Each structure stands twice: as C-alpha cells, then as structure tokens.
Amino acid sequence: MRTFSLDNHMNNAISDWHTDHLYFAHLLDLLQKQVGSFFEGKQPNYRLIAKIVEYMRDYGDRVHHPREDVAFSLLVERYPDMQLVVNRLLQEHQVIAETSAQLLEHFNGAELDVITPRDVLVALAAVYLAYYRNHLSTEEKLVIPRAVKMLNAEDWAKVDVVVPASAQSLRGISLQEHFETLRKQIHDEERLDS
C-alpha cells in the first residue's frame, strides 16, 4: 500500500503545483482588467489590486516558491541541462518579489490618496504582468513536464515537507487562514466589480 500512497503524494503535488499556476493566471487576468480601467477613464478597484498582489506575494514567498526551490534543485541534479532555465526562473522570483513590493506600496498608497502618477502604476503593473505570465508559461512548458517524468514519489515527498502550512503563521494568523481570507476578499471584490 506504501507505493499507492507515495503515488498519490506525487499526483497531488503535481496537481497542486499546476492548480496554483491556474489561480495565479486568473489573478493576473483580474489585475490586467483593473489596470485597464485607467484607459476607460474609470478608477480601478485599488483594494482588489492590493489584495491580488498581497496574495500572490505571500503565497509565493511562503508556499509556492519554497516548494519550487526544492523541486528545481532535485531536477537540476538529474538534468544538469536544466541549470540555465532554472537559474533564470530563480532570478525571476526575485524580480517578481521586488515588483510586487513596489506595486503594493503604490496601490496601497493610491487607496489612501497618496498620489502616484498613473503612468507609474500602469508601467509597474505591465512589467509585473509580463514577467509573471512568461514565468508561469516557462514553468508549465519546460519544467513541469520534465518534473513529472523525472522526479519520483520520494522526491515529491521532499517537496511536500517544505511547507507544513498548518504549522506556520503570519502576524499571528495561521497561513491557511490568511490565504483563505484573501481568496474570499478577492472573490467578493471581484463579484462587486462585475
């Protein structure tokens, strides 16, 4: 039965990875739509934008990227030719983190009526969107298929123990609760907006 549970482990880890990407892609579409409001002469929903970026930053920093770090390094051990693409992805994690911080600063400020020129917000969001979409597409096309082929159930178990979500907290709230709240807030704002 051990094999069965390890296989399950593996399938869950892969499908969680892909599901994270699908949700990120959905959030990027929402963000793009909000930024597009500027061009229709409307005010974007700053609260929604800030929640989207906050979710992507916190979930990325605390869950998604630490898991990827482990999966990537196991993959490079097996496929040294993956080193270049993995290095690029790791650098992109840094650019994404830096851009998220800037976006959050500006959009939180915008909500509080601290004026940031519209062009700055649009340009920052455009860099973030382009980088993130390209990043997701590289992981989906070049990395996940290799990982599915090459990583075994024990490797996935190593990926899985990186983030025992239940054991972690952020500002006194469990991570799981923090992410659930953000997802709900995003969903509610999204409904109000449509």
Interface positions with Fe ion (CB under 5 A): 68, 139
**In the complex with Fe ion, which residue's Cβ is closer, 64 or 106?**
64
Task: Return d(Cα 16, Cα 181) in angstroms, integer.
Answer: 19
Burial of 67 (0-12, 13-18, 19+ CB in 10 A): buried
Quick one: tokens of 33? 């739509």
**In the complex with Fe ion, which residue's Cβ is closer, 54 or 139?**
139
CB of 100 to Fe ion, least distance (A): 13
First-to-final CA distance of the chain: 48
Task: Return d(Cα 32, Cα 38) in angstroms, integer.
Answer: 11
**In the complex with Fe ion, which residue's Cβ is closer, 6 or 14?**
14
CB of 67 to Fe ion, least distance (A): 9
Quick one: tokens of 93? 């994690």
What one-character DSSP code corresponds to residue 39?
G
CB of 190 to Fe ion, least distance (A): 22
Query: What is the Cα 90 distance to its own chain's centre?
Result: 13
**In the complex with Fe ion, which residue's Cβ is closer, 139 or 190?**
139
Task: Return the number of other C-beta atoms located less than 10 Å from residue 34's C-beta.
Answer: 22
**In the complex with Fe ion, which residue's Cβ is closer, 45 or 100?**
100
Instruction: Return the HEC string of 63-76.
Output: HHHHHHHHHHHHHH
CB of 22 to Fe ion, least distance (A): 11
CB of 72 to Fe ion, least distance (A): 8
